[in-house]
Structure 1
């Protein structure tokens, strides 16, 4: 029978993700709207975005945080174009975004790359990564639901830089910052912020590379992080390369204030883990659904990807039914991934909404497959 209780918030999209509980657009501090981002008030808001991010995440001393254009993609591309070429490069890819970084390194920058690849649901062999080289990888594959289990495979005494696309991991997973030289993420993921802006975090080792190495290719203005051979420190103090949306900045500051109010990043991690547990219980009790990740330790607690004993058309029918009923929006698998569901379980999602969703998955599955 059709369930009676619906999630209060049916937004389970993997990006842009659900707004935080209690979000109220009218409560944002909009004092910066209509003001220059280079005004005292505008720059102060951007600087607070950088400083609060560093403080809440507990970044090591010397790590710099900057707001950059182009969301997470822009942040990764800035790092690749600015830092790569000094050493050989190892790139890991097991889902669509890692595949994109591999393509850009080989086809656009024309670097010789050691590629470590795996199919959706799997990780490459991490033991084969050569840390004499620069290494690029995603911490959590948003389109596959597969994450690296930890940072133990990254040596402390590595020669190359580690460049980590962590857009659906930061604020939801434990991150070994000292093992990461470049970390990128976007506001629209775990904190439910707005798109178009990325966060770029640099270690002192990454800064040293920027100041001692100049790539052989022309550098687009949006990617330039040095001037006269020195780091443009202003980027990491609120002096952005281009004009940001001050409304999106106010929205991000609201999300950061919420994180502080609920107990910090430990609580956002705990919320994501509790949300994943709802899916784990359902999968354990249900015969027709499984996780796309092949091992529990690589299972994402944000972009949870699921496979079904159903045809791709039946899965599409399920997704449409749940959307029509106002139960779950935007939960179809990523277009390049195997047919299935992708349910966002990041910190802004309430566990009670996932509890309410589970019976509806059963109902939609039965409806979609009953004619088979």
Structure 2
């Protein structure tokens, strides 16, 4: 058991939550002073702000011409649910599951929508599903980046360019931090609360021309709540993609989203955002390479997320514990970091293997991650000292 000195340096910003995520560097509430508070979101100026969120987002992400982008209710969950309930059923569907949120989409497909011909292609945490089993004539639902597993798809070479089915992609912890393969996707969803550090409750729904065609030629054989309806009278509700939201948005959140988008532009857009996130992963990867107790949950480096960076505890004292003991020890480690005010909300997701999850999106400074890492070593030593006597006693 190594003696680890309590560090002196602390992160300037200890917020490493995977959602809502850290605000951009230098953010203050003054950035929201121009918010259209007390105004109808349907009035000219507020509607223009909503439309600006759409146009700036599409521009930064490099969304292809012909795609439609809209602001929808209920964060990323609302966006992908809207897509699945409106589009699925015309073909068999494959769902790729490699973490808890994609597992939730599989549950919706199989148990709620009860679609005939649905297949769930799963993998354990830390791995990706068997993509060779995918049928390109089927629709496909996937999470590009596993927010709770730290595993991403490294490329889209495996998605057929001449596919018959639609690809519905939950990209909430990938958008603005990873280059999305737009030519291989048909529906892309995300929320404001992830890579740009926006506030929650609003989702973004991007539709390719193929997805729009499906909406106009296929009527879902199920009742659709008002907040899920993308068509009316057999026509696309164009207003959704022009800043006319289905329900009332928070204009304070809209102003905050715009602040994040302008900040992204100041970095040079998507390349600058990607570089910041990848730099954060690189700092942790260098530390892991020299650690005698921590490892990545994602075993394949090419599939390792730069945003939701998930760590496991590999020390013999920890692996000798039973499942309940490992969960208790990992939670204790995260609690120590929070008690020291050096890292908030870094415990692994409740359904994931016990460990730590550190957000590495673009709003997080590499210097803060570098300052955090010695505290991880210190906290691990404290927890090891607490649990080793219990292990020996057993």
Give TM-score scaled by structure 1 length: 0.99
Secondary structure in 2 aligned to 1:65?
strand
Number of equivalent positions: 372
What displacement does 1:26 show?
1.5
The answer to whether the Cα contact below 8 Å between 2:35 and 2:251 also exists between their aligned partners in 1 is no
Cα displacement string for residues 311-346 of structure 1 (whole angstroms, at most 9, x for unaligned residues): 322221211111011100000000000000000000
1:278-293 alignment to 2 at 5 Å?
Answer: 278-293=283-298
The answer to whether the Cα contact below 8 Å between 2:75 and 2:191 also exists between their aligned partners in 1 is yes
Name the CA distance, whole Å, in 2 between partners of 1:104 and 1:65.
24
Match of 1:336 in 2: 351
Match of 2:109 in 1: 105
Secondary structure in 2 aligned to 1:164?
strand
Aligned counterpart in structure 1 of residue 72 of structure 2, from 68, 87, 108? 68
Aligned counterpart in structure 1 of residue 274 of structure 2, from 262, 269, 274? 269
Name the CA distance, whole Å, in 2 between partners of 1:239 and 1:344.
32
Aligned counterpart in structure 1 of residue 333 of structure 2, from 294, 312, 318? 318
Cα displacement string for residues 13-48 of structure 1 (whole angstroms, at most 9, x for unaligned residues): 000000000111112243411100000011100000
Name the CA distance, whole Å, in 2 between partners of 1:312 and 1:69.
34
Q: Which runs of 5+ in 2 are unaligned?
A: 319-325, 389-394
Cα displacement string for residues 293-326 of structure 1 (whole angstroms, at most 9, x for unaligned residues): 1210110000000100323222212111110111
What displacement does 1:180 show?
0.6
What displacement does 1:291 show?
0.4
Name the CA distance, whole Å, in 1 between partners of 2:262 and 2:354.
37
Cα displacement string for residues 208-229 of structure 1 (whole angstroms, at most 9, x for unaligned residues): 0001100110111000000111
Secondary structure in 1 aligned to 2:248?
coil
Name the CA distance, whole Å, in 1 between partners of 2:377 and 2:225.
50
Aligned counterpart in structure 2 of residue 295 of structure 1, from 276, 281, 300? 300
Secondary structure in 2 aligned to 1:172?
coil
Match of 1:119 in 2: 124
Root-mean-square deviation over aligned CA pairs: 0.8
Matched, 1:28 2:32: yes
The answer to whether the Cα contact below 8 Å between 2:31 and 2:256 also exists between their aligned partners in 1 is no
Name the CA distance, whole Å, in 2 between partners of 1:314 and 1:31.
44
Name the CA distance, whole Å, in 2 between partners of 1:31 and 1:357.
34
Name the CA distance, whole Å, in 2 between partners of 1:129 and 1:53.
31
Secondary structure in 2 aligned to 1:23?
coil
Matched, 1:200 2:205: yes
Match of 1:128 in 2: 133
Cα displacement string for residues 340-364 of structure 1 (whole angstroms, at most 9, x for unaligned residues): 0000000000000001001000000
Secondary structure in 2 aligned to 1:269?
helix
Cα displacement string for residues 52-106 of structure 1 (whole angstroms, at most 9, x for unaligned residues): 1111111110011100001000000000000000111010001101110010011
Name the CA distance, whole Å, in 2 between partners of 1:316 and 1:206.
43
Give TM-score scaled by structure 2 length: 0.93
Cα displacement string for residues 87-142 of structure 1 (whole angstroms, at most 9, x for unaligned residues): 11010001101110010011111113111001111111112111101000000000
The answer to whether the Cα contact below 8 Å between 2:140 and 2:166 also exists between their aligned partners in 1 is yes
Secondary structure in 1 aligned to 2:119?
strand
Give the 4+ runs in structure 1 shifted more than 6 A.
none
Aligned counterpart in structure 2 of residue 358 of structure 1, from 362, 373, 376? 373
Secondary structure in 1 aligned to 2:245?
coil
1:145-294 alignment to 2 at 5 Å?
Answer: 145-294=150-299
Q: Which runs of 5+ in 1 are unaligned?
A: none
Match of 1:41 in 2: 45
Matched, 1:345 2:360: yes
